[in-house]
Amino acid sequence: MALAIPLVAQQYGLPAIARGVGIDQNLNAQLPLELTFKDETGQTVRLGQYFRQKPVVLALVYYECPMLCNMVLNGLTHSMEQSTLDLGKDYEVVTVSFNPHETWQLAASKKANYVEKYKGKGAVEGWHFLTGQEANIKKLADAAGFHYKYDPISKQFAHASAIMVITPEGRIARYFYGIEYKPRDFRLGLVEASQHKIGSPVDAIMLFCFHYDPMTGKYGLIITNVIRILGSATVIALGALLFVLIRRDRNRHDASAALGRPA
C-alpha cells in the first residue's frame, strides 16, 4: 500500500522528481538483518545486532536534510519523551541515513545533538545513528518500502516522512506517517510489536479498544469494543449492587429473628 505522494504526482502534475517517491506498507516483511553499516563511532556493525528480544523503531532519514528529516526526528523525540516506555530498555531506535555520501562523523554529530535534546534516559545506549554503502542502504529501503530520489539540481533528496516499528525478529509491524506521532499510538505500536513483552493490563485494554488503521498510520477507537467493555462494566456493577442489597436485607432479617421480632 503506497503513500499518496506518487498518485498525487501523477494526477496533478507535480515535478517528475516526486514521481515514485513514497512509502509502500510492506507489513510483515523481513528486514535484511545481515546488512552491515557504520555506527556513530565508525565501527562496522550488523543491522541484526540491534534486534535483541525487543522492538526497534526504524527511521530512514539523511543527516544533512535541511528540514523534513529533522522534523521526523524531532517528532520521534517528542513521542519518546511522552511515552512511559524506556528507550534502551524496552525498545531500541535505529536511524539510518539513506545518503551514501554521509560519514559516520556526521552521524556522530547528529546523535550528540539528539542525545542532548532528548529529555529522557537511555539515548546513548538505545539510539543508534548509522551510515552505509549505497547497495546496503537501497536493500534496506526497498525492504521497508521506502522510495526516495536524489535531485541533482537542488542537491537534495525527495522523500516521504514516516517511522516504522519493527518486531524483535526484524519484521515490519507498523508505519507511522508524517512528522508527529501520538504517544499513545507510539506505545501501542511498540507493545504490539513486542508481542506484549513490555505490555501491561492497561495496554491490553488499550489494544482491545483501539485498532490500527494502515491508511492513516494511526490507532482509532473501536466503538463496538468500548460499548462491550462499558456494557460488561455495567452488568458487573449492577450485579455487585444487587448482591449488596440482598446481603443487607438478609442481615436485617437475621437480626430481627434474633430479637424475636418480625422482619
- Separation CA 24–CA 61 (nearest Å): 16
| Residue 201, all three cell numbers | 493490563
The reported pTM is 0.74
pLDDT band at 20 (very low <50, low <70, confident <90, very high): confident
pLDDT at residue 247 in the model: 66
pLDDT at residue 240 in the model: 60
Buried b (16+ CB within 10 A) or exposed e, 226-249: eeeeeeeeeeeeeeeeeeeeeeee
* Alpha-carbon torsion angle 160, 162, 167, 171, nearest 10: -20
Contact yes or no for 17/151 (Cβ under 8 A):
yes
Contact yes or no for 18/9 (Cβ under 8 A):
yes
3-state secondary structure 207-251: HHHEEEECCCCEEEECHHHHHHHHHHHHHHHHHHHHHHHHHHHHH
pLDDT at residue 98 in the model: 98
Domains and CATH numbers, the chain: 5-198 (3.40.30.10)
CB neighbours (10 Å) of residue 69? 24
Q: For 150-208, how does the pLDDT look when each residue is reduced to its tens digit (9 = 90+)?
A: 988 888 999 999 999 999 999 999 999 999 999 999 999 999 999 755 555 554 554 45
